[in-house]
Chain A
Amino acid sequence: MRNNLAKKIIFCLSFLVNLANAKPILNVYIGSNYIADDTIKRLQQICKCSLSQNYFNDNEEMLAKIVAGASGYNVIVATSYAVNELVKMDKLMPLDFNKIPNIKSIDSKFMNQAYDPGNKYSVPYAYTPVFLAYNQDRMKQLDITPNSWAVVFDPKYLAKLKGHITMFNSSRHIFAAALLYLGKDPNTTNRSDLEAARKLIDKSSPYWAKFDSDSYYRGLLRGDIWLAMSYSIDIYKTIQDAAASHSPIKLAAILQNEGNMYELDNMVIPKSSPNKNLSYSFINNALDPQSAYELSKATGSSIPNAIAFKKLSTDITGIDWIYPKDMKKMHVLEAYDPKTRILVNEMWTEIQMECH
């Protein structure tokens, strides 16, 4: 009897044992829609591996999972400030540029940023401007041109737009926008500037429908959201979707006069990467001009790859909110020092959770 039971248990356990997969698996932790399908096919042939993409919605979510001990990723695609935080947490491996020859095609103005001097740990892969997208007809009716952050912070405009604005569910972007509107450095750690930004956000947020950085474009497409803080890559796709579904809603986007933020996303290799050669092979192929070209063409991502940029048609490179003409007005978000990070997070918790 007892023997029989033991057999049963062993039988059950054998089900749980996972059989090893023959092909090596390349685990990439990345935002969704961030590698072109053609690129994936080519990559898998070159590395003789199967690519497994693990998606995150925003950098905070990615950092939170890494802090909690998530491991096993060969490559992570992380935004500027997140790279710096990963370095501070001692999670990243210094890169060996000899293994990434394609780095030479990256435009030098995207290299050597303050969050990673000398690109010791990271190489830029793509970038995504953050701006306001809007419903053209509604803005025309109200006679508003959303070319300034004032439209989401100034009561003059807010009164007309109440309940039809969404802003990102991200403290960094909201504070940066408020600081830009106030004429301050979006990366400031000055307490009084941050307090001023917070006051402004407190006054404006009752007019916003909600904080949303994952599905705001659906609201734009449905027509109930008229103005939304947006990522270029989402808006590019939404405009295509709207055209494909013959939607009567006409969407457009515009950069703000005070300046904009952009997410400069980088490839990094975590120390816990199970197979570093696979990581390097992936990075080098993803930075290949052909891959970059495919990415920008398929998803509307902005690419820092100088060679691929020349190949792109002006249909994409001519769009100001994908390839801004004046990069001086585009700001990369830097990492906060621990004190500022905790201060801003506390403010953010209150902003988001308090009912006005």
Chain B
Amino acid sequence: MKTSFLSEKRVLSIPPLVYLICLFLIPTIFMIIIAFRVPGSYGGVAPIVEKINNHTQINFSLDSFKFTIDNQFIWQLFLRSLFFSALTTLICLLIGYPLALLIARSPRKYRDILLLLVIIPFWSSFLIRVYAWMIILGPQSGVSYAINFVLGTLGFAPINLLYSSFAVVACLVYINLPFMVLPLYANLEKHDIALIEASRDLGATKSESFWQITMPLSLPGILAGSGLVFIPCIGMFVVPELVGNNCSLMIGNLIKQQFLQTMNWPLGSVTSIIMTLLVLSVSLAVGLMFRRLGGLKYASK
């Protein structure tokens, strides 16, 4: 049978295609063009061709790239974003894995309720949850009081929990934890318990059967969860703005500032492009690891 041009499959792929072209491809192309343009006198970008005193000037320049490369603080922002995101991913993994395993291994009738408990935070706005953290970490809170009491008795100066890098990472972990737990649970739930039983029968200890069976089998879940946490983290700007200080701002803050405050679109575009490339390379790396480690392992066992 000849597939017609308007086969159902093709028609169904139109909406996502249109969506991606209009909301991702075209804006990205705009951004790349703007990166080479000159900031306008009153914000935005200067016209490409401009007439000044009878001579025409073409406004294209590499100044924004130069500014980005020359200024150390921008690279610091990139490095800090990467560091915070990696740290957040690691902590999420350390907290999320036991949780996901616990849910996956609990009796079937409780699983849905436990899973629901993981999802419940999504019912309230993300901003409200960050504001809640501002109260939890504020100096008047019990947490701050307890920590500073302990520090005080040990002879250390009191510390501020709020407006610090610690607060930023704590909030990032809190917000992203469900994105780590859900894919991990989806993976761990499918594991065949018979494999563990077989390994125990053959004399493996509990930890041996975990490291040699459960862990390798859950690698695709770990990678999916890590990708879901790491990638949105890099571009985050709300959390550092609300609970961070000058030394915990991330690249997203610079981009937001360039578009909403100082109106230097070219610099904002350059940094956005670098960030996009960063995210793209990380997701490519994750994708490649996925391919090498995922799926095949199961067959080889």
Identify the A interface with B (CB < 8 A).
1-2, 5, 60-61, 63-64, 67-68, 85, 88-89, 163, 169-171, 205-206, 208-211, 215, 218, 222-224, 338, 341-342, 345-346, 348-350, 352-356
Residues of B within 8 A of A356 (CB): 246-247
Q: Which of B70-78, B193-201, B220-228, B277-285 contacts A (4 or more CB under 8 A)?
A: B70-78
B39 within 8 Å of A by Cβ?
A: yes
Cβ B39 vs Cβ A352 within 8 A: no
Residues of B within 8 A of A346 (CB): 262, 264
Q: How many A-B residue pairs have CB under 8 A?
A: 107
B288 within 8 Å of A by Cβ?
A: no
Q: Which of B40-48, B108-116, B146-154 contacts A (4 or more CB under 8 A)?
A: B40-48
Cβ B44 vs Cβ A353 within 8 A: no
Cβ A68 vs Cβ B244 within 8 A: no
Min distance, Cβ A3 to any Cβ of chain B, angstroms: 11
Given contacts A89-B42, A353-B254, A355-B73, contact A210 B246 (CB under 8 A): yes
Residues of B within 8 A of A355 (CB): 73, 76, 246-247, 249
Q: Which of B43, B259, B262 contacts A349 (CB 8 A)?
A: B262
Cβ B163 vs Cβ A64 within 8 A: no
Cβ A345 vs Cβ B264 within 8 A: yes
B102 within 8 Å of A by Cβ?
A: no
Q: Which of A67, A348, A350 contacts B71 (CB 8 A)?
A: A350
Min distance, Cβ A207 to any Cβ of chain B, angstroms: 11
Q: How far is the CA of A94 from the CA of B134 in the complex (A)?
A: 46
Residues of A within 8 A of B253 (CB): 353
Q: Is the interface of A mostly helix, strand, loop or mixed?
A: helix
Given contacts A224-B139, A353-B77, A354-B246, contact A67 B264 (CB under 8 A): no
Min distance, Cβ A4 to any Cβ of chain B, angstroms: 10
Supply 18 A–B pairs (Cβ within 8 Å), ascending by A.
A1-B8, A60-B260, A60-B261, A60-B262, A64-B259, A64-B260, A64-B261, A68-B44, A169-B261, A209-B163, A210-B245, A218-B134, A342-B39, A345-B262, A345-B264, A349-B262, A352-B249, A355-B247
Residues of A within 8 A of B4 (CB): 2
Residues of B18-61 at the interface with A, using a CB-CB cut-off of 8 Å, are: 39-44
Residues of B257-273 at the interface with A, using a CB-CB cut-off of 8 Å, are: 257-264, 267
Min distance, Cβ B23 to any Cβ of chain A, angstroms: 16
Min distance, Cβ B126 to any Cβ of chain A, angstroms: 15
Cβ B257 vs Cβ A349 within 8 A: yes
Residues of A within 8 A of B247 (CB): 355-356
Across the A-B interface, give the 4 residue pairs with the lowest CB-CB distance, nearest first.
Answer: A338-B41, A345-B262, A355-B247, A67-B43
Complex: chain B residue closest to A62, CB-CB: B260
Complex: chain B residue closest to A91, CB-CB: B42
Given contacts A223-B139, A223-B140, contact A64 B43 (CB under 8 A): yes
Cβ B138 vs Cβ A224 within 8 A: yes
Cβ A163 vs Cβ B264 within 8 A: no
Cβ A349 vs Cβ B258 within 8 A: yes
Residues of A within 8 A of B119 (CB): none
Q: How far is the CA of A60 from the CA of B6 in the complex (A)?
A: 48
B135 within 8 Å of A by Cβ?
A: yes
Given contacts A5-B8, A89-B42, A353-B73, contact A224 B160 (CB under 8 A): yes
Residues of A within 8 A of B73 (CB): 350, 353-355
Min distance, Cβ B162 to any Cβ of chain A, angstroms: 6
Min distance, Cβ B77 to any Cβ of chain A, angstroms: 6
Complex: chain A residue closest to B242, CB-CB: A215
Min distance, Cβ B151 to any Cβ of chain A, angstroms: 15
Cβ A353 vs Cβ B138 within 8 A: no
Min distance, Cβ A223 to any Cβ of chain B, angstroms: 5
Min distance, Cβ B290 to any Cβ of chain A, angstroms: 34
Cβ A67 vs Cβ B74 within 8 A: no
Counting chain B CB atoms within 10 Å of each CB, the highest count among A61, A171, A209, A349 belongs to: A349
Residues of B within 8 A of A352 (CB): 246, 249, 257
B1 within 8 Å of A by Cβ?
A: no
B128 within 8 Å of A by Cβ?
A: no
Cβ A348 vs Cβ B262 within 8 A: yes
Q: Which of B6, B245, B260 contacts A61 (CB 8 A)?
A: B260
Residues of A within 8 A of B249 (CB): 352-353, 355
Supply 19 further A-B pairs (C-beta < 8 A) apart from A1-B8, A89-B43, A170-B261: A68-B259, A88-B41, A163-B163, A210-B244, A210-B245, A218-B134, A222-B139, A222-B140, A223-B139, A224-B138, A342-B264, A349-B254, A352-B246, A352-B249, A353-B74, A353-B249, A353-B254, A354-B246, A355-B247
Q: How far is the CA of A163 from the CA of B246 in the complex (A)?
A: 11
Residues of B within 8 A of A348 (CB): 261-262
Residues of A within 8 A of B163 (CB): 163, 209-210
Given contacts A68-B44, A215-B242, A355-B247, contact A5 B259 (CB under 8 A): no
B17 within 8 Å of A by Cβ?
A: no
Min distance, Cβ B273 to any Cβ of chain A, angstroms: 17
Residues of B within 8 A of A224 (CB): 138-140, 160, 162
Complex: chain A residue closest to B162, CB-CB: A224
Complex: chain A residue closest to B259, CB-CB: A64
B120 within 8 Å of A by Cβ?
A: no
Residues of B within 8 A of A342 (CB): 39, 264
Q: How far is the CA of A89 from the CA of B47 in the complex (A)?
A: 13
Q: How far is the CA of A210 from the CA of B253 in the complex (A)?
A: 13
Q: How far is the CA of A6 from the CA of B140 in the complex (A)?
A: 61
Residues of B within 8 A of A353 (CB): 73-74, 77, 246, 249, 253-254, 257
Residues of B within 8 A of A349 (CB): 254, 257-258, 262, 264, 267
Cβ B42 vs Cβ A88 within 8 A: yes
Min distance, Cβ B134 to any Cβ of chain A, angstroms: 8
